[in-house]
Amino acid sequence: MQDLQQQLDFILELDRLKGVYRQAMVKSDKNRNENSAEHSWHIAMMAQTLHVYAEAPIDLARVTIMLLIHDIVEIDAGDTFAFAAQVDLDAQEAKELDAANRIFGLLPTQQFEEMRNLWLEFEAAQTNDAKFAKAMDRVLPLLQNMKNAGGSWAKHKVCKSKVIDRNKILADISPKLWTYVTEQIELAVDNGWLLNE
Amino acid sequence: MQDLQQQLDFILELDRLKGVYRQAMVKSDKNRNENSAEHSWHIAMMAQTLHVYAEAPIDLARVTIMLLIHDIVEIDAGDTFAFAAQVDLDAQEAKELDAANRIFGLLPTQQFEEMRNLWLEFEAAQTNDAKFAKAMDRVLPLLQNMKNAGGSWAKHKVCKSKVIDRNKILADISPKLWTYVTEQIELAVDNGWLLNE
C-alpha cells in the first residue's frame, strides 16, 4: 500500500503544472496564456500525428512519455521563455535537476528512476527519440505564432536567427518538417512578425 | 504536402480543447475549472504511474493514446458532467460521433481511421486497454474531489451509489485500485461530501 500512496501523491502533485503559465497564447480561449499541462498534451498529440516524418526510426511510445513529462520540473523551476534575453542557463539547469529529483522522487524507486532517466534523455537531446521529442516541443510554438499574428515572437521582438537556431534540430531528424519550418520563418519575416536579423 | 497540411490543420484545431471546461476544479490554480486538454494530460500521466495495478495485460502505449484523444470530440460536443441529472445519452452519443468524424476527419485517411477506431474502442469499453483507460478517466475526478473537500460531488449533491456505479469498472480491471476507491467513497460519505444513498 505504500507504493500506491506514493503514486497517488505524485499524481496529485502534477495538478500544479496546470498553474504554470507560458508565453504562448491560447487563441481559441480568449487569447489567455497557455499552461504547461495543456501544452504537454498538445505536443504529445502532435507527435502522434507527425511521427511519420521522422527520418530515423523512433519509438513513438517513448517519445510520447518524454513529451508528457518534459515540463513537470516547471512545477518547481518555472517556465523559461525560449527567447528570454538574460537567463542564467547553469542556474536554471540546476533548479530543474533539483525539481526532477523532488517531484519524480515522490514515486517508488523504480518509477522514479525510469521517469528521471527519460527526462534526462530528453534534456540531453542526443538520442533519436529525444531529438524528435525536442523538435515537437519547438515546432508547436511556431505553428501557434504563425496562427496568431506572430504571437510571442511579435510581442517580444524576436529575431529570425534565434528561431532558426532553436528549430534547426529538425534538419537531421525530419528534413520534410524542417523545409516547412524554414518557409514559415521567411513568411513570418515578410509579415513583420520576426525581426530580419 | 497535402497530408502535412491536413495534419497541421488537425493539430491547430486541437487548440480548442483548451477552451472546453469541466466540472472538476484545479485547486492549485485559484480553484478554477479544469479544461479537457490539461485533464487529458493528467490522466495519461496517471496511466503511466498506475498501469502496474492492471490485473489483465494491457498495452500502455495504446492506453495512453486513447486517453490523449478520448475528449477531443468535446471540441464540438461539449463536456457532459458525469452525474448530470438529465442527459439525453443517445443524442449526446450521436453528437460525439459526428464530432469524431469531423475532427479526426481533418487527418489523412489512414490516421483518421486509426484515431477514430481507437476512440470508438475507448467508448465501447470492452477491451482490456479501453477498460483500463476508462478507469483512469473515472478515478482521477475521485482523487481530485477527495483532495478538494468533495469538489464537484459536494457542489452537485451527488449520491454514493452513483459514484460506485461509475467506478465499478475497476473491480475487474484492477481489484487493488477498486479496494482503494471503495474506501475513499466511504470516507467521502463520512465527511458529508457524498449523499449516503
Q: Average pLDDT for residues B138-159, to the nearest whole number?
A: 92
- Is the CB of residue A147 less than 8 Å from the CB of residue A97? no
Nearest chain A Cα distance for residue B88, angstroms: 27
**End-to-end C-alpha distance for chain A, whole angstroms:** 58
Q: Average pLDDT for residues B170-181, to the nearest whole number?
A: 95
Considering only the beta carbons, identify the residue of A16, A38, A68 that sits closest to B28: A16
B21-59 pLDDT tens trace = 999 999 889 989 999 999 999 999 999 999 999 999 999
Give the per-residue pLDDT at B69.
98
Give the per-residue pLDDT at A90.
86
Percent of chain B's residues with pLDDT above 70: 99
State which amino acid sits at residue A119: W
Of chain B residues 148-187, which have a CB less than 8 A from chain A?
A: 176-177, 180
Distance CA B190, CA B175 (A): 23
Mean pLDDT of chain A: 94
Q: How far is CA A9 from CA A1, A72, A104, B2, in A?
A: 12, 14, 11, 45
Give the per-residue pLDDT at B53.
97
Query: B66 to chain A: nearest residue by CA?
Result: A45
- B40 CB neighbours in chain A (<8 A) are 41
Give the per-residue pLDDT at A2.
82
Judged by DSSP in three states, B74 sits in helix
Q: How crowded is residue A107: how many other Cβ atoms within 10 Å of its Cβ?
A: 22
**pLDDT at residue A180 tops 90:** yes
Higher per-residue pLDDT: A131 or B89 = A131
pLDDT band at B96 (very low <50, low <70, confident <90, very high): very high
| Residue B54: φ, ψ to 5° | -70, 130
- Is the CB of residue B130 less than 8 Å from the CB of residue B122? yes
Q: Average pLDDT for residues B146-161, to the nearest whole number?
A: 92
Percent of chain A's residues with pLDDT above 70: 99
Give the per-residue pLDDT at A12.
96
Sign of the torsion formed by the C-alpha atoms of A97, A102, A104 and A109: positive
B51-81 pLDDT tens trace = 999 999 999 999 999 999 999 999 999 988 8
Mean pLDDT of chain B: 94
Cell of B190: 463520512
Distance CA A155, CA A149 (A): 10
pLDDT band at B5 (very low <50, low <70, confident <90, very high): very high
Query: A59 to chain B: nearest residue by CA?
Result: B61
Give the per-residue pLDDT at B82.
77
A139-167 pLDDT tens trace = 999 999 999 999 989 989 999 999 999 99
Per-domain boundaries in chain A: 2-190
* Interface probe, candidates B45, B79, B103, chain A, greatest A C-beta count within 10 A: B45
Give the per-residue pLDDT at A149.
92
Report the run of H or E that residue B24 belongs to, with start and end: strand B21-26
Q: Tell how far CA A16 is from the center of its chain.
A: 17
Contact of A28 with chain B, judged by CB distance below 8 Å, is answered with yes
A86-123 pLDDT tens trace = 778 888 999 999 999 999 999 999 999 999 999 999 99
pLDDT band at A80 (very low <50, low <70, confident <90, very high): confident
- Is the CB of residue B35 less than 8 Å from the CB of residue B19? yes
Chain-chain contact of B107 with A49 (C-beta, under 8 angstroms): yes
Expressed in percent and rounded to 5, the helix, strand and coil fractions of chain B are: 70, 5, 25
For the question of whether the overall pTM of this predicted structure is more than 0.80, the answer is yes
Cell of B89: 445519452
**pLDDT at residue B132 tops 90:** yes
pLDDT band at B197 (very low <50, low <70, confident <90, very high): confident
Considering only the beta carbons, identify the residue of A4, A19, A45 that sits closest to B28: A19
**pLDDT at residue B6 tops 80:** yes
Contact of A63 with chain B, judged by CB distance below 8 Å, is answered with no
pLDDT band at A197 (very low <50, low <70, confident <90, very high): confident
Chain-chain contact of A11 with B41 (C-beta, under 8 angstroms): no
Considering only the beta carbons, identify the residue of A8, A35, A60 that sits closest to B38: A35
Contact of B27 with chain A, judged by CB distance below 8 Å, is answered with yes
**Domain A2-190 in CATH: superfamily?**
Hypothetical protein af1432 (1.10.3210.10)
Contact of A110 with chain B, judged by CB distance below 8 Å, is answered with no
Nearest chain B Cα distance for residue A120, angstroms: 17
Nearest to residue A148, comparing CAs of A50, A43, A29, A42? A29
pLDDT band at A9 (very low <50, low <70, confident <90, very high): very high
Give the per-residue pLDDT at A87.
76
